[in-house]
């Protein structure tokens, strides 16, 4: 008897009412392959669904209540039980990570708007350091903030590999921000690895560097105002507070900005823990 009820054909309107979905949503799910009608009348084009499809329709609706993108919903509903649960777990872990980051950002902005940001910025120790001229191989890319961490890791990895053919790495890799990188502004950013042999670097660039839009240049000697941050502080918005702390210190010392800001990665990222110092936030000054 249950099988008979599952085989009952329903018009799209009746099915929508039973599944607690709109007809418009059902048409969209049909186009996406999420929930295809059991039968479409060749003459009228009317869609008919079987009652046995109601469970999937409600599953789709519930997943959408989690703000799950339709493409991800399709992966879940087409997977088996354990596989579907695993996909849901992975999606929700990403949601929680994003919300945690947004919560931290909201706390940071609350302090900034209430005038308490100087208290946070004052916790960063800023010093100057003189850095000699360096030959660097680099990649430049226009990238938004969401893509930046993955690009930095991949780009520095490629350049450090290439440095083997250029006399080896001579100093800490760094990333220069030639313009703002945010959710709306795409830089560009330039990843740089200092190398020992300029002639070998230029030969490498001519032979293989073009595939990565890489180049070789001489980074001039600079005086940097810098503060050291931990791996945990590299994430937004803590890193924003570090940049602001250096800028405030430079202004307080009567110094002048003499070039674009940068992040200098002096430690092994993978081997470092959350509280280990890994990066200098720095501004060239004069």
Helices marked H in 40-196: 54-65, 70-78, 81-113, 117-121, 148-162
* Predicted pLDDT of residue 146: 82
Is residue 209 pLDDT above 80, yes or no?
Answer: no
The Cα–Cα gap between 85 and 242 comes to: 40
Is residue 121 pLDDT above 70, yes or no?
Answer: no
At 199, list the tokens.
């002639």
* Predicted pLDDT of residue 43: 81
| CB-CB neighbours of 128 under 10 Å | 15
3 state DSSP class of 130: strand
What average pLDDT score do residues 43-53 get? 86
Those residues with Cβ within 8 angstroms of residue 167's Cβ, 6 or more apart along the chain or in another chain: 195, 196, 197, 200, 201
Report how far apart the first and last C-alpha atoms of the chain are (Å, whole number): 85
Q: Which of residues 176 and 117 earns the better pLDDT score?
A: 176
Is residue 205 pLDDT above 50, yes or no?
Answer: yes
**What average pLDDT does the chain have?**
88
Residue found under tokens 């910025």: 121
Give the residues across from 247 on adjacent strands.
none
Q: In the chain, what percentage of residues exceed pLDDT 90? A: 48
Those residues with Cβ within 8 angstroms of residue 169's Cβ, 6 or more apart along the chain or in another chain: 160, 163, 193, 194, 195
* Predicted pLDDT of residue 263: 97
Those residues with Cβ within 8 angstroms of residue 104's Cβ, 6 or more apart along the chain or in another chain: 235, 236, 237, 238
* Predicted pLDDT of residue 1: 41
Which run of H or E residues covers position 280?
strand 277-285
Q: pTM for this structure? A: 0.68
Cis peptide before 7 (omega within 30 of 0): no
The Cα–Cα gap between 170 and 162 comes to: 13
Give the confidence band of 122 by pLDDT, cuts at 50, 70, 90: low
At 111, list the tokens.
């302090």
Contact indicator for 68, 91 with CB cutoff of 8 Å: yes
What is the DSSP code (8-state) at residue 11? E
Is residue 157 pLDDT above 90, yes or no?
Answer: yes
């Amino acid at each position: 008897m249950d099988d008979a009820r599952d085989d009952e054909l329903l018009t799209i309107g009746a099915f929508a009412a039973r599944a607690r979905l709109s007809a418009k949503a059902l048409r969209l799910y049909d186009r996406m392959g999420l929930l295809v009608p059991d039968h479409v009348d060749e003459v009228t084009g009317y869609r008919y669904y079987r009652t046995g499809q109601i469970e999937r329709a409600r599953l789709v609706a519930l997943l959408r209540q989690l703000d799950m993108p339709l493409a991800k919903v399709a992966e879940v509903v087409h997977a088996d039980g354990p596989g579907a649960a695993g996909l849901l777990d992975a999606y929700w872990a990403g949601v929680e990570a994003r919300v945690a980051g947004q919560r931290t950002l909201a706390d940071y902005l609350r302090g900034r708007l209430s005038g308490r940001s100087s208290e946070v910025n004052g916790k960063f120790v800023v010093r100057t350091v003189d850095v000699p001229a360096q030959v660097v191989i680099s990649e430049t890319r226009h990238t938004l903030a969401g893509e930046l961490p993955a690009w930095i890791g991949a780009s520095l990895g490629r350049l450090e590999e290439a440095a083997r053919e250029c006399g080896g790495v001579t100093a800490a890799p760094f990333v220069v921000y030639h313009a703002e990188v945010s959710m709306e502004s795409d830089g560009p950013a330039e990843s740089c690895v200092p190398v020992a042999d300029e002639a070998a670097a230029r030969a490498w660039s001519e032979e293989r560097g073009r595939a990565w839009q890489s180049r070789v240049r001489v980074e001039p000697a600079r005086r940097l105002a810098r503060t050291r941050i931990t791996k945990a502080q590299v994430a937004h918005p803590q890193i924003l507070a570090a940049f602001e702390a250096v800028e405030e210190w430079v202004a307080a010392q009567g110094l002048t900005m003499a070039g674009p800001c940068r992040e200098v990665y002096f430690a092994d990222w993978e081997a470092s823990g959350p509280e280990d110092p890994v990066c200098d936030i720095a501004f060239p000054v004069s």
